[in-house]
Amino acid sequence: MPHSKDEARASKLRPKKQFPFFELPSELRVRVYEMLLVSPDRVLNLDPTNHRLVLPRLPCFLVSRRMHDEAYRIFYSSHVVGMFPEPGRFFDKKPLLSRLGPRNRGAISTLELRLGPGWTKPARYQNTDKSLGLQDCVSLRTLKILVQTDPSDDIFHGFRGAGNEKNTYSLFCVKLLNGIFEQVPSLKIVELDAWTGVDKGSPLVFALANEIQKAGKKLVWGPLRGWNEKEDCGQLGLESALAGMRL
């Protein structure tokens, strides 16, 4: 029947009615954004797999200005953002944090700092210079620190790199941490964790925990090692350290 075919063809060409997304309650819109954008187990960082795992989630940023303004806040506030690239092709490149705009950095609530990679010679971008953009992270509340290696352990003697002493990397890490504290006054909680080969009482963990407490931040032990508040990390503070050396 030609007439019915023409009608069918016309119905296909007729614009479909758009779903009134912005008429939904804000709670439902947030839930939709979370389902589309959030990968709770993924740390946002420079990674060769971003084009497969992250990029397909972001087209909604381009739908309209209003959707962008709602979606980007959910995306950046719901993910942990890595401060520096992991070892690999991006290790000595500009970090993701410095590539984001001030508005995107302002939505980040959690950063992750991994310590250990490149310990013999840290990458040139592993610093807290103004170019990193920490001063824009006004919503940052939590810093997750993962200690992958502590080169101050005696097992690394002779392998610390030219000119490096036992505490060289620990001093570098403490400087990084204090740089974060100085530029991000909104930071409240520091979660300290480590890989299996690092003890809770190791010199690097000890130094970091001491700086966290001196800065008045809440120290939380991370879940990876299963550390808890009752485990002894050694007494913290100058007086107790001296007491431990009987000075």
Residue 232 structural domain? 88-247
Say whether 43 sits in a helix, a strand or coil. Answer: strand
Final residue before a domain boundary, out of 78, 101, 120: 78
Domain membership of residue 114 (yes or no) is yes
**Helical H segments across the chain, by residue range:** 2-13, 26-37, 50-53, 65-78, 96-99, 102-105, 168-183, 203-214, 238-244
Residue that finishes a domain, picked among 44, 59, 78: 78
What tens digit of pLDDT does each residue of 197-244 get? 899 999 999 999 999 999 999 999 999 888 876 655 544 433 333 333
Residues 106 and 151 in one domain: yes
Whether residue 105 is found in the same domain as residue 30: no
Residues 163 and 68 in one domain: no
pTM recorded for the entire structure:
0.84
How many domains does the chain contain in total? 2
Say if 36 falls within a structural domain. yes
- Between 96 and 162, the more confident residue is 96
Does 8 map to a domain? no
pLDDT, position 6: 65
DSSP, residue by residue, 137-172: -TT--EEEEEE---TTSGGGTT-S-TT--TTHHHHH
Same domain, 138 and 243: yes
Residue 2 placed within a domain? no
Domain termination site, one of 35, 54, 78? 78
Q: For position 136, what pLDDT does the model report?
A: 98
Residue 155 located in a structural domain: yes
pLDDT bracket for residue 155 (50, 70, 90): confident
pLDDT band at 38 (very low <50, low <70, confident <90, very high): very high
**Residue 14: inside a domain:** no
Return the pLDDT at 15. 63
* 92, 147, 176 from 126: Cα distances, Å: 8, 15, 8
Give the tens place of pLDDT for each residue, 158-183: 888 888 999 999 999 999 999 999 99
Average pLDDT rounded to a whole number, residues 10-16? 64
| Residues in the chain, overall count | 247
